[in-house]
Amino acid sequence: MTALGQPLLTKPVSAKLAATPWGFFLAIAVLLFFVVAAVFPAALATHDPYAMNFANALHPPSFEFWFGTDESGRDLYSRVIYGTRESLLIGVGATAVSLSLALVLGSLAALAGRFASAAVNRIIEVLFAFPTLLLALLLVAVIGPSAMSQVVAVGVGTAPGYARIIRGQILKAKDSGYVEAAVALGHPRAWILRNHVLPNALRPLVAIFALSVGQSIVWASSLSFLGLGVAPPSPEWGALLDAGKQYITQAGWLTVLPGLVIVVLALAATTLGKHIQNILEKDEK
């Protein structure tokens, strides 16, 4: 299962970060920076992200151009800052799509009648059998490349894994001693579902949400990199990677630096998620 955890990140690094409290604060600081970049990009950018200046084309990183410039002489750092909003929205949007779909599928698989739940389970299994990226590619091919289709594609692609988690959580809560105690007290089924099963089953989703935002950005960037995302002039991060790959031998910074930014953001989101998970688990045990 690649959906939860670390498709591109190395586990030891994020685990080490998760173990120290300063890792938690660092993650929050990084996320705050990107939130500011998404809301007020002008406050953080040093140049106009769209202003072309062919005299400065493919300028390596310097004091003037922190991340260097691209083939049209645009400042890469400012483009990364201006691309934050779209990248974050795609990440958050895809996560929302993914978890909503997972919630519906997972709940049905756990709670519906015997035949309905068996059918939903088969659907989840079939979706699960596809590699996430393949499923996303398929959807983009059908809908056509755009930011919206990226959100849907990544959302649907990562949903089966979360659906399985949610189904397991609900089943666990449903079989618990406290649900039986509630039945013995005479509470109706719907009340028990609302007051015991769902709250306990969905508690871990807070952590999963944070983890998933990081993953979704990585998946979405992968799609953009394959040319199946946002159209080129946009400074969305995956698109930056895609544009930079032609110059990878002469101007490596065009791919390496946006790639690093993606890694840093995903790492921060994952670290935050792990911390939330730890806190929730400490609460429970």
What residues line the site for other proteins (CB under 8 A)? Answer: 176-178, 180-181, 183-188, 196, 199-200, 203, 283-285
Nearer to other proteins, 163 or 197 (CB): 197
Which residues contact residue 166 at a Cβ distance below 8 angstroms, ignoring those fewer than 6 apart? Answer: 102, 103, 105, 106, 107, 110, 201, 202, 205
Least separation in angstroms between residue 201's CB and other proteins is 11
CA separation for the pair 91, 16 (Å, rounded): 24
Least separation in angstroms between residue 19's CB and other proteins is 15
Nearer to other proteins, 53 or 176 (CB): 176
CA separation for the pair 133, 130 (Å, rounded): 8
Nearer to other proteins, 173 or 220 (CB): 173
CA separation for the pair 4, 128 (Å, rounded): 13
CB atoms near residue 138 (< 10 Å): 14
Nearer to other proteins, 144 or 186 (CB): 186
3-state secondary structure of 164: helix
Rg (CA), the chain: 21
> Which residue bears the tokens 């991060």?
237
Nearer to other proteins, 199 or 232 (CB): 199
Least separation in angstroms between residue 184's CB and other proteins is 5
Nearer to other proteins, 125 or 180 (CB): 180
Which residues contact residue 216 at a Cβ distance below 8 angstroms, ignoring those fewer than 6 apart? Answer: 90, 91, 92, 94, 95, 98, 154, 155, 158
Least separation in angstroms between residue 199's CB and other proteins is 6
Nearer to other proteins, 201 or 243 (CB): 201
CA separation for the pair 139, 156 (Å, rounded): 9
Least separation in angstroms between residue 31's CB and other proteins is 27
Least separation in angstroms between residue 69's CB and other proteins is 52
Angstrom CA distances, 179 to 39, 59, 111, 176, stand at 44, 64, 14, 5
Angstrom CA distances, 79 to 72, 83, 168, 220, 246, stand at 12, 6, 42, 17, 18
Least separation in angstroms between residue 187's CB and other proteins is 7
